[in-house]
Structure 1
Amino acid sequence: MVYSKDTELYRRDVKSRGREFTAEEREKLVKPYLPPVPELLAPSKVSSRHSGVRKVKRRRQKPIRSFLKSKLHVLLYFAVHLVFGIYLRLRQTYHAVIDRVLALLYYHHRTPELIQKDVKNLSRLPEHLSVVLTLKGEEDGGLESLMEDVAELSAWCASIGIPLLSIYERSGILKSNMRSLHSLVFQRLSSYFGASQTPSFRLHAPSYPSYPPSATTTPALLPTTSTETTSPPTQSQRRRNIEVLLLSSTDGRDTLVDLTRTLAEMSQSHKLHPRDITQDLIDAELSATTSISLSPPYQLASQTQTPTTPKNQDTITTMSKEPDLLIIFGPYVKLDGYPPWQVRLTEIFCVGESGGGNSGRSGGRVEYQGFLRGLWMFAAAEMRFGR
């Protein structure tokens, strides 16, 4: 029950918006109508009660069982890691031993004849070989080591007779060092074939001019000029002519984005009808990004001159076909941004753990035995093409 006097005082304070009474006066006004305050427990009683609860919980936890359970979990964790670690070491050791045995049995000694002997019994060889390389840190050689790998691969392909070699390196640093790379590859080919028999080669890169700008051929490799008609290159000439194509991540996703933007702008400006944007057009434009210009006697092995070829034809532009074989020098398959439309029908071979050594590091070393194993796999592969 609220007294009428207190009600009037409260309403008067509300009308004045709290200016009639102070906070203490308002508290004194409503205090008689509040419920009684419960008696609080003493701090000592509260602490004793909590300690009793803890003792009960500790008794219920059974410390010996909890200790044994935790030790069992640690033991199982250690056993799983031990078994898995032993398995990995044994597998790495096995691959390292096999790799070293192959390195002893098959070593080129920088002799093209020995390299040809290693592949002479293969039923087929790729006409376009592609390799995925990784730029290592400065402590592992950096750019210099990468260019050495390209030079070795070029010499091996020239010795075997592979006319087109494409090198994929994600950052594209090789494109900005084409002059130095050309000089290094030339020196390596000279050490393999001799100064008088150095194979002819050129470096190509999408959106970059070929190097050297004009095709030059060593005198020992010039075709016969007794007649005006240029005869098709012999097997020896094809073997000694090699084209090196440099690719990077910008030739993959960025190229597709630029092509999409260009076709959209042409369609909006009415320069190209949307019905003209077909699969064949897109395929031709994407393939043109990795096209190479060949000048006689720079020809792929699959190309032959027909009688209708003009005598004054100086340059033959050839679209670089999809790679027949892609070799990844690393412990696992990682395309790392490789142009996807270039590997639709490509055999992919990963060197595996032998490329990383027994230490488990994925160094991605380019070694001759790994290169040979890729060619062996390609020769034994059965091309079904979806059948």
Structure 2
Amino acid sequence: METNFSKGDAGLGEEPRSRKPPQHQTLTDAHAPTGDDKLLYAMPFSAKDLQRYRKDEKFNHRLMTPEERIKLLKPYLPSPPSRDGARRASLSQVSREERKGKLGVRRFLRRHFHIFVYALIHFYFSIYIRLRQAYHAIGNRLYTVYHHHHHSPELIQRDIKDLSRLPKHLSVILTLEDQGRSGAGLEKLVNEAADIAAWCASIGISQLSIYEKTGILKGYVKETHQTISQRLQTYFGPSFPSVSLGAPHIPPIQSGLLSLSNSPNNDNRKNISILLISAEDGRDSIVDLTKTLAEMSQRKKLQAADITTELVDAELSESVMEEPDLLVLFSPFVELAGYPPWQIRLTEIFHVPDNQGVGYQVFCRALCKFAKAQMRMGR
């Protein structure tokens, strides 16, 4: 054993002179590291210790005992973790998990907080809307019970006898249901116009303008006039007021059934003039008038200084209609739906929240509101 060891020593003594290993070995050596080799390559060994380990490795680890190898590698091994360190590591891991859980809850609340607030606001607002609708529905029903016209002009006059003033020109906005695809929508629209005309004739309003956005009533002027006349006859009997029904740029149809001078009850009954208007009589009329005035100014037929508010008002009043005193909406909210804007600069607008459809109670409440309104005319 000594002879072999000495030979091996002599043979190994020549290797370091001819081929010195590098100070820092890497995994790119010719042999693949296993076992302690992996630890050796991972740690920065000194050249002397590395040389000793190489010799032992070359002779299949027969030069050093396992204890000597452990003693050689021990300075390069990390110190084993203590109990306190392990406990601190476990506590830190638990705290990280708890903190992660808290952050998850916070992140969830932060992401869904706006949804919760929206649902809460929607819930309370829905309750408010339902209560408001119920309140207005009950109020309208009670008003209808106590103030029903029963197709009697005398009862209608009794409801408005205490009012200090009435509008000379009343305008209403009606809505065509289902866009007129069925005849029921048009029939309902004509009946609503006839009812409003009868109410106006009963209290002495001589001028009524009916706005419907599509202008479908303009295509049924004759039928509408006949329905209104029949409704007035239902209210007044044989001596009902005459009706003049027309539209802008359409000649009016005059009723010839009437002679109020021979009627014994003609105190507040007047002839009623009804005008049918639509969206095309609104902004389109203003655009057409603007083009006409511009062309006249370019042709030197009109000076720019002559174009005043009074001129525009006179032209629009003549081509469309005069400004109404009161505009009544029967919709649940304020929606003018393209109503001629120039004609409502100083008009009193009335509507009942959450109301659905034309009703006598809305008509009476609008007249009461108009009588109490203060007309300051922009002052």
The normalised TM-score by structure 1 is 0.67
The answer on 1:370 being equivalent to 2:362 is yes
- 1:352 is paired with a residue whose SS is coil
CA deviation map 1:69-127 (0-9, x unaligned)? 56665544432222111111111100110010001011001011100110011111111
Aligned to 1:103: 144
Contact 1:329 1:352 in 2 (8 A): no
Match of 2:162 in 1: 121
2:224 pairs with 1:181: yes
Between 61-70 and 116-125, report the one with greater CA deviation: 61-70
- Alignment partner, residue 300 of structure 1: none
- CA distance, structure 1, for counterparts of residue 376 and residue 146 of structure 2: 33
Alignment of 1:382 with 2:374, yes or no, is yes
The equivalent residue for 2:6 is: none
Measured after TM superposition, the shift of residue 236 of structure 1 is 2.8
| TM-superposed deviation, 1:57 | 11
Match of 1:142 in 2: 185
Q: CA deviation at 1:223?
A: 7.0
Whichever residue aligns with residue 203 of structure 1, its letter is L
CA distance in 2, matches of 1:271, 1:72: 68
Amino acid across the alignment from 2:256: T
Q: Which residue in the other structure is 1:170 paired with? A: 213
Q: How does 1:244-283 map to 2 (within 5 A)?
A: 244-283=274-313
Structure 2 equivalent of residue 89 of structure 1: 130
Distance 2:267 2:289 in 1: 37
Deviation at 1:235, TM superposition (A): 9.6
CA gap of 1:257–1:223, structure 2 versus 1, over 3 A, is: farther
C-alpha separation between the residues in 2 aligned to 1:60 and 1:140?
67
**Which residue type is aligned with residue 133 of structure 2?**
Q
Q: In the alignment, which of 137, 146, 152 is matched to residue 195 of structure 2?
A: 152
Counterpart-to-counterpart distance in 2, 1:57 and 1:255: 73
Task: Check the 8 A contact 2:203/2:268 in 1, yes or no.
Answer: no
3-state SS of paired residue (1:218): coil
Q: 2:318 aligns with which of 278, 288, 293?
A: 288
Separation in 1, partners of 2:119, 2:305:
64
Counterpart of 1:216 in structure 2 is 256
Paired position in structure 2 for 1:329? 330
Aligned partner of residue 135 in structure 2, secondary structure = helix
Cα separation, 2, equivalents of 1:113 and 1:223: 19
* Distance in 2, Cα, partners of 1:103 & 1:371: 11
User: Normalised by the size of structure 2, how large is the TM-score?
Assistant: 0.68
Secondary structure, aligned partner of 1:327: strand
Residue of structure 2 in register with 1:345 after alignment = 346
Which is richer in helix?
2
Q: CA 1:276–1:82 in structure 2 vs 1: closer, same or farther (change >3 Å)? A: closer
Aligned residues: 281
C-alpha distance in 1 between matches for 2:106 and 2:307: 73
AA aligned to 1:185 is: I
For the 8 Å contact 1:127–1:164, the answer to whether it is kept is: yes
Q: What is residue 297 of structure 1 aligned with on the other side?
A: none
**2:300 is paired with a residue of what secondary structure?**
coil
Alpha carbons of structure 1 residues 96 and 323: separation in structure 2 relative to 1, 3 Å = same
Instruction: Output the CA distance in 1 between the equivalents of 2:161 and 2:129.
Output: 36
Are 1:163 and 1:238, in contact at CA under 8 Å, matched by a contact in 2? no
**Cα–Cα, structure 1 residues 75 and 340, in superposed 2: closer, same or farther, change >3 Å?**
closer
Distance 1:92 1:222 in 2: 47
Q: Which residue of 2 aligns with 1:198?
A: 240
